[in-house]
Amino acid sequence: MVKVSSFAELETLRKSIVARRDPQKAMITVCGGTGCHAHGCEKVAAAFRQEIEQQNLAGKVDLRITGCHGFCERGTLVVVKPQDIFYQRVKEKDVSTILSETVAKGNVIERLLFTDLATKEKITRELEIPFYKKQNRLILGNNGSIDPTVIDDYLAVGGYAALARSLQRMSPEQIIDEVKKSGLRGRGGGGFPTGIKWESTRRAHGDTKYVICNADEGDPGAYMDRSLMEGNPHSVLEGMIIGAYAIGSDQGYIYIRNEYPLAVKNAQIAIEQAEDYGLLGKNILGSGFDFSVRINRGGGAFICGESTALMASLEGHVGEPRAKYVHTAEKGLWNQPTNLNNVETWANVPLIINKGADWYSKIGTRNSKGTKIFSLVGKINNTGLVEVPMGITLREIVYDIGGGIPGGKKFKAVQTGGPSGGVIPESLIDLPVDFDELTKVGSMMGSGAMIVMDENTCMVDIAKYYVSFLEGESCGKCLPCREGLKRLREILADISEGRGEDDDIDLLENLSVALVDGSLCALGATAPNPVLTTLHYFREEYDAHIKDKRCPAGVCKELITYCINNEKCPGCGLCVKACPVQAITLTGKKKPAILDQEKCIKCGACYDVCKLCAVDIK
């Protein structure tokens, strides 16, 4: 690779990359995101490679492995260009047909298309699928079309133009003003205005300044940062370089969870390629500005996503937070002024510079601008990543994009904000989703996990789940969090195991107040949210557990029994084989099986294995 040493050279390079590409040439893109990996996309890609070679098609069709499209549930996703035919649930065996029918003859293979459940219509183009229709994929949009390990792909779609523009035509102050005017707020959870944070770090005194990208993404159930880092790492890098220039920093760090090996790999490749072109390193694009970036991997601790804990971990210490009397913008990493932003926040920056703050601030609501990526998961038909304008209602997300609840079950609630957030009940389904509205109802934006729950999700269990998670993740430095979470979990466990007492609810509420007031960092201070919101919106469910010793959702093991439904059970014996403790016996041909409650350990194996739903939970 040749170094690009001026703005003009960058544009020449871009033009030559675009000129070398024939938009009319056939191309197959295979999604290589983590969701599709779980569906076996590697095998599909390998099969394409092999078939293309065997059928001597190398000159006629290109193969590209892209980042995550978001519609993970339907993987492996394959798009055939230039027609843009979208195939889903593609397996190895479909590969040769795609080549011989679609690529060679232009025929569409009906069975691989997406079928709209409502209209039974087959849909050929990706963006016409209801899942994508209400989305506004400003940040995720390029994920499905570029190969994240090829910098030229990013340059071909206009990549690094925002960087060139910033360095060439804007002063650091102008960039900060633009970001302030755009109304961009941090996507890592707190929603702090990004431009103001940059300004404080720029103004702070220090020998060196650092910028950090927070890709720790510890919120269980959220994976948008991972998909961005894996699928379009250059957009994050470009944002970081612009930010560093605006702040006056020459060293950046990306802190990535080690559980995300592909994100680590692709970020590393992106850094190396950007260095090769001279977009990172000394004298970037001949502007005189120096900046380099290094990757650090996390060690699987949720608390390391918190700013001060992350910085401690970067210095090689355990990830314990500190009180923030002095902000990290003044004294952060190695006691120098440090600016930390989330992956998605950084990825918004090139967009703002390219399109301008005026354009950007037209999207969204009064105090929440732009789009937000959510991971729409749990009990929902179309699971995956969705990018929507701020202010869209929960109903639109759950029903129009998500396609409602599977198996004809009833929608119960949606949880946002992860362990620091809350549960939002069905009665609030028309709530517009933005930073302030979510906070108002007791939840928060958080990093963007949206966990949909149906009638079979128990709210006491959910509260217990989050509290146990945080109990395990509490670093133990301050007492309210360390001990308080333990007690909260014990009380919730009592309730879910049938030992609940009347005054437990008061106890939960009092303890929650102590945690909010007394904790050192936001982990403890927000930890009671799942408890308080479930108590507030689902009090009757707590009462059923405490007073009637009953779990209405059929989840809490100690309060339920598995029973054979005599009318439905044909005595096929599948459950007998599945039962690990021989609690089920057959009484003869075509006669229902009998379940011995004394022996039953409530493992649920019979329930899972029965195809006729002849096992009831009571």
Ligand X SMILES: Cc1cc2nc3c(=O)[nH]c(=O)nc-3n(C[C@H](O)[C@H](O)[C@H](O)COP(=O)(O)O)c2cc1C
Q: Is 216 in the site for ligand X (CB under 6 A)?
A: yes
Residue type, 528: P
The minimum distance between CB 239 and ligand X, in angstroms, equals 10
In the three-class reduction of DSSP (H, G, I as helix; E, B as strand; rest coil), residue 524 is classed as helix
d(CA 545, CA 550) in angstroms, rounded, equals 5
Residue type, 81: K
Q: Is 468 in the site for ligand FES (CB under 6 A)?
A: no
The minimum distance between CB 470 and ligand X, in angstroms, equals 8
The residue among 383 and 526 lying less far from ligand X, judged by its C-beta, is 526
CA count, 13 A, side-chain hemisphere, 358: 0
Q: Which does 210 bind (CB under 5 to 8 A by kind): ligand FES, ligand X, other proteins, none?
A: none
352, two tokens:
């703002």
Element holding 79 (H helix, E strand): strand 78-81
d(CA 69, CA 62) in angstroms, rounded, equals 19
The residue among 220 and 281 lying less far from ligand FES, judged by its C-beta, is 220
Q: Provide the sign of the torsion angle of the four alpha carbons 579, 584, 585, 588, taken in this order.
A: negative
The residue among 220 and 391 lying less far from ligand FES, judged by its C-beta, is 220
Contacts of 152 (CB under 8 A, 6+ apart): 17
Q: Which of 141, 193, 221, 432 binds ligand FES (CB under 6 A)?
A: 221
565-566-572 Cα angle (round to 5): 90
Q: Which does 384 bind (CB under 5 to 8 A by kind): ligand FES, ligand X, other proteins, none?
A: other proteins
- Please answer whether residues 453 and 377 qualify as being in contact, where contact means their C-beta atoms are separated by less than 8 angstroms: no
d(CA 501, CA 518) in angstroms, rounded, equals 26
Q: Is 523 in the site for ligand X (CB under 6 A)?
A: yes
Q: Is 40 in the site for ligand FES (CB under 6 A)?
A: no
d(CA 605, CA 615) in angstroms, rounded, equals 10
The minimum distance between CB 220 and other proteins, in angstroms, equals 3
Q: Which of 141, 190, 193, 221 binds other proteins (CB under 8 A)?
A: 221
Q: Is 604 in the site for other proteins (CB under 8 A)?
A: yes
Q: Is 260 in the site for other proteins (CB under 8 A)?
A: yes
d(CA 580, CA 576) in angstroms, rounded, equals 9
Q: How many residues sit close enough to ligand X to count as binding (CB under 6 A)?
A: 24
Q: In what order do the strands lie in the sheet with 26-31?
A: 61-66, 26-31, 78-81, 85-87
Q: Which does 298 bind (CB under 5 to 8 A by kind): ligand X, other proteins, ligand FES, none?
A: other proteins
Which residue reads 């076996």 in tokens? 40
d(CA 280, CA 265) in angstroms, rounded, equals 18
The residue among 72 and 244 lying less far from ligand FES, judged by its C-beta, is 72
The minimum distance between CB 259 and ligand X, in angstroms, equals 12
The minimum distance between CB 247 and ligand X, in angstroms, equals 13
Q: Is 416 in the site for ligand X (CB under 6 A)?
A: no
Q: How many residues sit close enough to other proteins to count as binding (CB under 8 A)?
A: 59
332, two tokens:
């952060």
d(CA 141, CA 386) in angstroms, rounded, equals 11
Q: Which does 522 bind (CB under 5 to 8 A by kind): other proteins, ligand FES, ligand X, none?
A: ligand X
Binding interface with ligand X (CB under 6 A): 186-190, 192, 214, 216-219, 302-303, 305-307, 340-342, 345, 447, 521-523
Q: By the criterion CB under 8 A, which residues form the site for other proteins?
A: 34-35, 37-39, 72-73, 217-223, 226-227, 258-261, 296-302, 313-319, 375, 377-379, 383-384, 415, 418, 449, 451, 453, 457, 462, 465-466, 469, 473, 475, 578, 580, 603-605, 608-609
